Every structure is written in C-alpha cells, then in structure tokens.
Amino acid sequence: MGFVSLNFRWLTGACLAAALLGAASAPAATPPRVPPVAPGPAVANSRCVDGDGADAERAPIFRAAPASPSSAPLPANVREPRENLLAMVQAAIRRSSAVGATHMLAEAAASDIDEASSARLPQASIGGQIGGVDTGAVNSTSTRGGQFQGSLSVTAPLYDGGRIHDLTDWRTHLADAARFGEISAQEQVALQTVSLALERSRFTVESQVYDQYVRKMGCLVEALQMIVSVDKGRTSELVQARKTQQQAELARDQTLSQKRLAEVRLRRFVGDDLPPSEGITSVMLDTPSLDDLQTLAARATDIQAMDSQASALDSYVRAVLDGQKPQLGLLVAATKSAGAGDSRSVTGGVTLSWQLFNASNAYTTNSARKRAAAARLQRDDALEARKNRMAEVHEQAEHAMDRARQVVEILHNSELVRNYTLQQWQQLGRRSLFDVMAAEGDHYNMRVQYVDALYDTQQSNALLWSLGLGLAVHLQ
C-alpha cells in the first residue's frame, strides 16, 4: 500500500507540474473558462497561462517602486502621454460652458473699464421741442402760435479731484479679478479632467491585474481537473479553485465597470474621442517641494483674484472721497427758437459744484473702508488655508509614495512565497490547495495596493500643482 500511495502522489504531482509547465512560455490569452470535460495535459498546457511576465512588459509600474519622488523611473516615451493629458485638458476647457461664462464676465468687466475712463471725454447732446406758445403781459406785445425749439450743449470735466481716475482704477481691479476668475474656472476643469483620466488609467491597470489573477486561477482549475479525473477525493479542491476564480472574475468585472464609469464622466469634459491611457502612470509621479509650493501660493489665481478685489475696494474708497471735493467742468450751450416768438441764445463757461454737507457721505466712506479691510482679511485667511491644504496634500503624496515603496518590497517576498508554496504543494505535498490560493490571492491583492498607492500619489500631486500655479503650467 505504501508503494501505491507513493506512486499516486507522484502521478498527481506530475500531472500538475505538466499543467503549470507552459505558464512561462505560453502567449497571453483570454481568461480561461472551466470546460465541462476535464482536459488532458496537452490542452491544459495550451490554456494555462500565468500572464505576469507578459503584462509586466506592458505595465512598467510593476517592475519596481520609485526610490524617491524625484527619481521615479519613467517609461521611455513620457512625452506622448503628457501631450495626450494636456490635449484632454485643453479640449475640456474649450468645451466647458462654465469657462465660457467666466470668459464673458471677464469681457464685460473689460468693457466697464472703457465706460469708466470715457467719463473724462467731452459729452455733447441735442434736444428739441415742437408745440404752441401763448404769452402776453401788460403793456407788451403778446406772442401766440406754433414754435419749434432746438438746443445743443457740450460739457467736459476739467477737475474732479481724481474721481474718474479712481473709478477707472476700481473697474480695472474688478476686471483683473474677473480674469483671474476665468483662469480659476479653467483650473477647476483641468483638475477634474486630470483626476478622471488618472482614475480611468487606475482601473485599466487594476483590471489587468485581476485578469492575470483570473488566468492563474484558471490554470489551477485546469490542473485540478486532471487530478480529479484520477483522484475523485480531491473534488473539493477543484470546487474551491473554481470559487476563487469566480471571485477574481467578479473583482475584474467590477473594476472594468468602474473604468467605464470614469470614461463616461471623462467624455462629459473632453467628448467621445478619448486618447489611450497608456503611460499616464508616469506623468504625475514627481512630488514638488513643499517650500516651493508655499512660496508660489500667493501667486495662485484664487489669491490674486482676492488681491484684485481688495485693491478695487481701496480704489472705490478713494473715489468716494474724491466725489466730496470741488468739481469743475466746461459748459457750452446754444438754444434756437423758430416760429412764434423767434429767439436764440448761446452760453458758455466753467461750472463749479461742491458738496458742502451730506450726512450720508461719512457712512458711505466708512462702509467702503470696512469692506476693503474685510477683503484683505479674507485674502489672508484664504492664503493661510491654501498653505495648510498644500501641507496636508504634500504629506498624503509622500505617504502614498512611501507606501508604494513598501508594497513593492512586500511584493518581492510575496513572489517568493507563492512560488515556494506552489512548489511544495505540487511536488512535496506539504501544502494544501488553500495555502496555494491564499498565497496567490495575497500576491495579487498586494499588486492592486501597489497600483492604488501610485495613483494616490499622482492624484495628490495633481492637486498640489493645481493649488500652485496650475496643472496646465505643469503639463506644458
């Protein structure tokens, strides 16, 4: 009996070894399905594929984790994925109605500048009147009949205490704020586009990992089918392997669904023509220095817009004070009446107006000054909040990259564990199938964690650049 048992163990191990022998050399194939009839060794060799090697060539992120954010190994062709990402950002900005609305507001604010500055130019107006007249007085000739009256007047400001200049400056700062608002809207669209493109790439790579997991489980299923054809007592192992394969297929299908959902959202921004996602993994791996980012924080478009709004309120305060100064102007007017009681008159000279007392002026000036001070405080608070946000996101980016480096070290050991476990099961019989599947499941789960860590790094880096000078500047 001992001799029979030994030969039987050798037979099952040989069958499994023959089934797994083709894993390293067989070409990648579609995820295998369990056939209704157990295949022979030749069929198993042709269908049992361990796609790690082939897919690693297509996905360089599985080769090694970057030693540091600044020395991250990039694929040879980085320029094309960067250009594809920039093209998507530019297409999203062109298609965005929100960006178009802010652009129209910026143009309207620019027209307000011309309106304010044109107040220093001369203004001419004409008027007319057609009607009847009936005038008379004691000891004078009465006038009765139809009459036409026309008038022409020309006015021009000579001195206004700088009010027109300050009002123009007020409008100019508001136009600057509107222009920065347009750039900020573009940056929001760019960040959403890049984030969705990264999510699409994340789920693409994760689906490749799960596809490899499905193929590896399919390999075990096919090998176990041959073993069960000899030893019916190991049918439970076959059922367990099939269940694990189905779970891997479910995870892959869920990931593919998330990828399609990301593509649906991305098409809303860039249209139906989506560029390939290959290579995007390397575009956003460089984490910028926190000190450099915080130095650039004051140049962010949102902060500059608040600076412009505060400066605009300062100019408005000066304009209110200027309106309380003497106002000098030039006036030339001519009037001509025809019909009953013909007459004409021409007047010209300098006009003077000076508001000596108006109780509301003090309140107007006080409120304008407080609004300007409030705008400054809001700007300082926004700048401080942005710097704190940069510090938080920078920590998240560095932690994600550290996590990627740690996971890749674990992956090296996981690769050894899965190989030793499989070898001990198929040749020595010292491990159970559950040990083999646990080692495989742990290995592929760690690969998914590695993908998540790298893409978490990229998402954080994209947000960091957006909080600074903008993603478009970085991509260019």
Asked if residue 78 has pLDDT above 80, the reply is: no
Q: Which two tokens stand for residue 375?
A: 């705008």
- pLDDT tier at 7 (50, 70, 90 boundaries)? very low
Q: Are the C-beta atoms of residues 219 and 69 closer than 8 Å to each other?
A: no
pLDDT digits (tens, 9 = 90+) for 15-62: 333 333 333 333 333 323 323 323 333 333 333 434 444 343 334 444
Query: Which of 89-98, 278-287, 330-339 ranks highest by mean pLDDT?
Result: 89-98
- Whole-angstrom distance, CA of residue 158 vs CA of residue 291: 52
Give pLDDT, residue 421.
Answer: 87
Most confident option among 5-9, 75-79, 208-212, 279-283 = 208-212
- Both tokens of 83, joined, read 């250009």
Banded pLDDT at 261 (limits 50, 70, 90): very high
Q: Is the dihedral of CA 455, 458, 462, 467 positive or negative?
A: positive
Calculate mean pLDDT across residues 263-290: 87
Q: Give the chain's mean pLDDT.
A: 80
Domain range annotation of the chain: 2-123+163-319+366-475
CB-based contacts of 118, cutoff 8 Å, min separation 6: none
pTM: 0.77
3-state secondary structure the chain: CHHHHHHHHHHHHHHHHHHHHHHCCCCCCCCCCCCCCCCCHHHHHHHCCCCHHHHHHHCHHHCCCCCCHHHCCCCCCCHHHHHHHHHHHHHHHHHCHHHHHHHHHHHHHHHHHHHHHHHHCCEEEEEEEEEEEEECCCCCCCEEEEEEEEEEEEEEEEECCCHHHHHHHHHHHHHHHHHHHHHHHHHHHHHHHHHHHHHHHHHHHHHHHHHHHHHHHHHHHHHHHHHHHHCHHHHHHHHHHHHHHHHHHHHHHHHHHHHHHHHHHHHHHHCCCCCCCCCHHHCCCCCCCHHHHHHHHHHCHHHHHHHHHHHHHHHHHHHHHHCCCCEEEEEEEEEEEEECCCEEEEEEEEEEECCCCCHHHHHHHHHHHHHHHHHHHHHHHHHHHHHHHHHHHHHHHHHHHHHHHHHHHHHHHHHHHHHHHHHHHHHHCCCCHHHHHHHHHHHHHHHHHHHHHHHHHHHHHHHHHHHCCCHHHHHC
Pick from 80-89, 154-163, 267-276, 419-428: least confident:
419-428
Q: How confident is the model at residue 418 (pLDDT cuts 50, 70, 90)?
A: confident
The token pair that represents 106 in the structure block: 């910026």
Contacts of 208 (CB under 8 A, 6+ apart): 55, 58, 59
Give the best-scoring range by mean pLDDT among 199-213, 224-238, 352-366: 199-213
Given a cut of 60, whether residue 84 has pLDDT beyond it is yes
Mean pLDDT, range 65-81, rounded to an integer: 49
Best CATH choice for the domain 2-123+163-319+366-475 from the list 3.50.50.60, 3.40.35.10, 3.30.70.20, 1.20.1600.10: 1.20.1600.10
* Residue 133 confidence (pLDDT) above 80: no
pLDDT computed for residue 57 by the predictor: 34
The residue type of 2 is G
Cα of 50 vs its chain's centroid, Å:
37
